[in-house]
Structure 1
Amino acid sequence: MDRQLRGRIAHSDHPIAAPLSDRNVQRLLDRALRGRTGRVLDLGCGEAAWLLRALAAHPELEAVGVDLDEAALTLGRERAEALGVARRIGLHHQDAKEFKAHQPFDVVLTVGATHAYGGLLPTLAAAREHLAPGGLVLIGDCFWQQEPDAAALAGLGVPNADDHADLTGTIRLVTEAGWVPVLGHISTSEEWDDYEWAWTGSLAEWALDHPEHPDSAEAATIAAEHRLGWLGGYRGTLGFLTLLLRRAD
């Protein structure tokens, strides 16, 4: 099953592609945009959910999003038209690592997309290239809430724990790279559960509703295996941290 199609379906019943409630998405976005009247960039924007919220609430903003999923970008453009903000947003079908902008951005978003750059620090380095002086980065990534056991690693399909640090280690990495956290949010167990039930449920229901689709059986299998990997593996072990950052220099 195409990974991009799977992701669109799995996230269709959740506010964004990360374990954050609708209320906390809005709270983080409001804080990031407080007093900002310029340009916002989302690296790995998907259907541009963050950007569309920003534009709807802040008529003075302009936004740019970059993603490899062309179908998701098409949905984003359609929603931008429906909201009446299409003239203030540019959505680019491009590898975020190759994106070049003519002007810097006041806020750079990249929530749940650090895999595109190979981890947290490379993502922050890429975001910095696009950031205006005094600008803010809103970034979301996983961390270990507790030491992962074999079941947690198996549930995630990873060979070892090297992909993430614990919470303290994550903050240390960020600050040693020259960033200052000005706000943070650790996703609650309720946010995680809502996200995982939505992810697996949306994919499973799509499979039930499209029995003749060539990907139907695989989608059902993916949903079932993911559900078991979460419930029997990494639930309570994998955390998600969203940080609002400024440069120290």
Structure 2
Amino acid sequence: MAAVSILSSEDPFLCSICLDMFTDPVTIPCGHNFCKNCITEHWNTNNQYLCPMCKKVFNTRPELHVNTLISGMIAQFRQSAQQKASNSSDQQVSKPGEVPCDVCTGTKLKALKSCLGCLVSYCETHLEPHLTASRLKRHQLIDPVENLEGRMCREHDKPLELFCKTDQTCVCMLCTVLDHKMHDVVSLKEEHEGKKAELGKTGAEIQQMIQKRRLKIQDIKHSVGLSEEDADREIAEGVQVFTSLKESVERGQYDDILVINKLVS
């Protein structure tokens, strides 16, 4: 029970470098824990072998060994969280077109939020650390979206939260004080609402144009229909006149034949 209560907080099992749960946790001589890859990369990019937490410097590079105790407890927590996610009736399996949870293994659940700090989408269960852990609470959560990398400024590695109307492009906070210092910049939400209203107005105008065009087509069809009826009527009258004329000629010829026959006899 003690292990469960400790694991439920999860904060002690977050790496202070990547701010995520430990992967292959290692303990360095000062007693602090990190992901093996995180501390390795940290030391590879610095001139000194120091602890990112307490800043203690080591004369020689410490040999790293995975802390099996912490690793086992994290594995237990992950398994418990996955089981909880699988048994939860409130959570839904991700469907085509929906954003899946990036942490779920096996069956992917529908993501509840996406984190711009981690560039990861989380289901309800895996989102919990961001709501309880003090370090992760500072991360910006948004509605679940795909392609999170595309929402980050490539130059400053900050979220694209603003829109530069001068250059018609999305920018981050640092962009507004550097490359776009004197430009007309608004929030993405404000620009979205403006574009949405503009699109709605354009859509209404297009619908009116379509309706007018349909009415015009109906008028043309009606006019063509009337012309066809007039032509049919004229043809019918012409045929009738021709038939009457033919019958009249035939009757005249018949009368002439009778007269000739009488004269001959």
TM range (shorter): under 0.3
Relative to the length of structure 2, the TM-score reads 0.25
Structure having the larger proportion of residues in strand = 1
TM-score (norm 1): 0.26
- The structure number with the bigger radius of gyration is 2
